[in-house]
Amino acid sequence: MKKTLLAALLLGAMAAPAMANQALAQKNNCLTCHSVDAKLVGPAYKEVAKKYAKDKGAEARLIAKVKAGGVGAWGQIPMPPNPQVSDADVKTLVKWILSLK
């Protein structure tokens, strides 16, 4: 019983940051064009993580891209600029996206 409760608590604690980050993505309208697992208008977040997994400069470039927008890395559909999203939110979201497996 104690092991089951401990396991449930640990799983809940590990899932909480991911759910908070997904809520942050929802709050900032990111999930209108992206999802974690499937391509929508833009690439799935897991595909972004996979593409940039070995790129040491990816975090800074993706933060800049989220703020300024861009086109060409994933096709010709542009990602609009997101200057209204706080720098802290952008950094949190990019770190979360890059951590996905």
Tell me if 34 is assigned to a ligand binding site: yes
Domain borders along the chain are 2-99
Tell me if 14 is assigned to a ligand binding site: no
Q: Domain 2-99's class?
A: mainly alpha
Distance (Å, whole) CA 10 – CA 14: 6
Tell me if 33 is assigned to a ligand binding site: no
Distance (Å, whole) CA 28 – CA 67: 12
pTM assigned to the model: 0.81
Note the pLDDT tens digit of each residue in 57-92: 999 999 999 999 999 999 999 999 999 999 999 999
Note the pLDDT tens digit of each residue in 33-51: 999 999 999 999 999 999 9
